[in-house]
Amino acid sequence: MRRVFENFKKYRFLLVELIKKDIKLKYRNSYLGLLWTLLEPLLMMLVLTLVFSGSLGRGDRLYPIYILTGRLLYTYFSTTTKSALKSIRSNSGMIKKVYVPKYMYPVSSVISGYVIFLLSLIVLIAVGAVLKVKPTIYIFQAIVPLTLLFVMTLGVSLILATLAVFFRDLEYLWTVALMLIMYASAIFYHVEDLNKPHIEAALKLNPLYALILNFRNSVLYGKPLDMEAVVIAAVFGLLSVIVGGYMFYKNQDKFILHI
């Protein structure tokens, strides 16, 4: 473990450059550039509100923010894990030529995605101001789900980045899995409206939904954290980092034979 930290410290400047590269490449051919980070969630919120407000958000003045809070967290998780999944194969040329700690590639994807995600929260602040959402003291609790979101995404990304080197079809399978995760994360429907406690309990086992639930409690409803959801997300996040880190470390020397 000490060697890992020393190695990380030694190459931290390279990590910063990889993060900058990831952000630049993401918007390289875009006229709007980083502005699209703000426009994309806003436009998706408007579309989903128009489509579902009549049936799923009826009578809910804050329904647009309900959608936006879920969509922002899900988009970071889905976009970043897909990017990290391809990170080793995408950088195969550099890996074959020079020595760079291979974990730098998925880690840089996770961090660069998180930077963009934090910038996109500006949209949430703006929409909240327009809809006159009054922040409460509980808004400071948002740091908990936001931190756990980063940890969970990092762990899942390391697992996917490792497996994708050996199983090329994983990219397509993960796209399907992300669709299932989206529908199980209550992004555009209220779980309470289902009137089925067993479904609500089952959904809470989805760690991403657990994070979205507590993020909404913090910034939208002004309620204390749901501690059961915190435990579920924290346990899954820590386990995924441990498993992902171990898998990546044990298999990284084999990557060169498969990329």
Mind giving me the DSSP string for 201-247? HHHHTSHHHHHHHHHHIIIII-----HHHHHHHHHHHHHHHHHHHHH
Domain residue ranges in the chain: 2-257
The DSSP 8-state label assigned to residue 193 in this structure reads G
Say what the pLDDT of residue 58 is. 66
69 and 215 Cβ atoms separated by less than 8 Å: yes
Say what the pLDDT of residue 1 is. 59
DSSP-derived 3-state class of residue 35: helix
CA 117 to CA 115: how far, in whole Å? 5
Say what the pLDDT of residue 173 is. 95
The alpha carbon of residue 69 and the mean position of all alpha carbons in its chain are separated, in whole angstroms, by 12
**Which residues in the chain land under pLDDT 70?**
1-4, 28-33, 54-55, 57-59
Say what the pLDDT of residue 136 is. 92
Say what the pLDDT of residue 23 is. 82
CA 236 to CA 229: how far, in whole Å? 11
Say what the pLDDT of residue 65 is. 92
CA 153 to CA 81: how far, in whole Å? 7
Helix axes 2-10, 12-26, angle to 10 degrees: 60
Q: Locate 170 and state its tokens.
A: 């994983």
CA 214 to CA 144: how far, in whole Å? 8
